[in-house]
Structure 1
């Protein structure tokens, strides 16, 4: 498609482009710039390829996909990511999405200070919505959604001493318990805050992080309770005021982000997020010689290859045999 431009014409908008040096201009019905940009593509295609426009907009399909997700966490997240995505893509139809449009979105977002990882996620949600639309036969084909590469995960991980320091620096018991649970179970924060006492088997020393309704997309595991965590849980169980393991004032805790950040500050650390605890758990297990297959099960990974590609390099024996093949200093040189 050649460069098409939007201009003002008779109090509204018009689209124009050049063919063999001559300018072609057409009045648009759109009343806003965003609507004009989407309509302009239809006008160009109608005038040059005689293709009639049809179908719903990206915004309509995005919302239909969110409704189909129901109460899954992704539906809530898309309520936030959609603010930026739909402002840029909402007025278009899926067949109007181009690589240039995706690149323009990525550039505008990063120029405004948004991280590359966030842009990757936002465009990933758009890709998921378009794939859903195709699978549900709302469109014939899903458009290609180009997105920036996913950033390399940060290598920061905590030692056991640092985890202990974080727990000691917590300003409230429920924050300290949550940190202890996050590290000892390698669970995600959502799983820890969802945990209820009926899924903590003190007799068998097992915690079940799974939910029966299967509303969570990412895997959750059933893990053993070690001695230190058992002592902490027994203390909290005796004082429990609700069904939730992590509680405050007898109520479920919806977020520990602020309390965790304060603990990190008081402990004199930086570059630490809640996910760092899960990452640290995996590193601690692998570096201590626990087999990758067991670590994958502990993390709730359904694909061991994912665990290996992320944490294999922390194994003590990783590449050691390969290095030995390259050993030559014990050889005698024959002259």
Structure 2
């Protein structure tokens, strides 16, 4: 369960927890062997509705932080022995609706169904890993262990995840003179996610077909409405004068900012879905409110991302790396003495200082993204 704010302290208390039925035969062995990957004798702590704690534990006081060991009653030892250690104790957590309404309702529902408002509660992580701090870590925990499912915010997923992806570019070659550096790696990322069993839907118009007349067939899915998804991933868009800051319908206008705002409002804010913002061009302001949202992870394409951001580099297909011969590549002829790959957004000073002086000494050809730099022959 990955829900709400990350708790501070030594125990997972229901926001980053693995919950299991103590009534399931072999539950301890399964948790230790297939989920936690640890020694079979390791015990698990119970969480119980505070109003029913006395039925199962002799503690006689609230224990909201799972920090006190208690004796177990005969009822607990006989009916739910999986939560009782070999010495007859349990490190219990008591819960009230005031402390955690959602977890209390889960316990009440389980109690109504089974007669026992008690669950096993252990931290959402596997052996050797920290407690899951991001939706991506929680999904890795799900796919890398024997968990049956994962509650991400308000949605339950079972291994495969439906990802809503927004990029406002092209999956194929696109249009040469349209700035879109993502064409170099976007398909590799999406194909990798699909190969891992996830379903990706592009939350935008099919620009490949509409503008580039490139029919990619049924290889990908585009959706202009707001479909049900598990996770939202956006290549962060920002205001670019003359393109997405003009009025809708103006020649050259793109609606990428409008669509991004719509997606973030619907999925991230209203539905509280896990959201990944890929800030490739470092355009997300440092004080932007989304940087502080519990359900948002900001990623940068950098070996050393800025504080608060995670690393998400541009991917290269495994097959390309596996089939590459470094000796042959090093020996190949090179008819281009100088190459610059990328865009020039907000890098004019660095571009003029480092690249333009060298570019002035060689012929320049620009395959896309506008005219070549003014220095040097063109």
Same fold (TM over 0.5): no
TM score, norm. by length of structure 2: 0.24
The structure where helix makes up a greater share of residues is 1
TM score, norm. by length of structure 1: 0.26
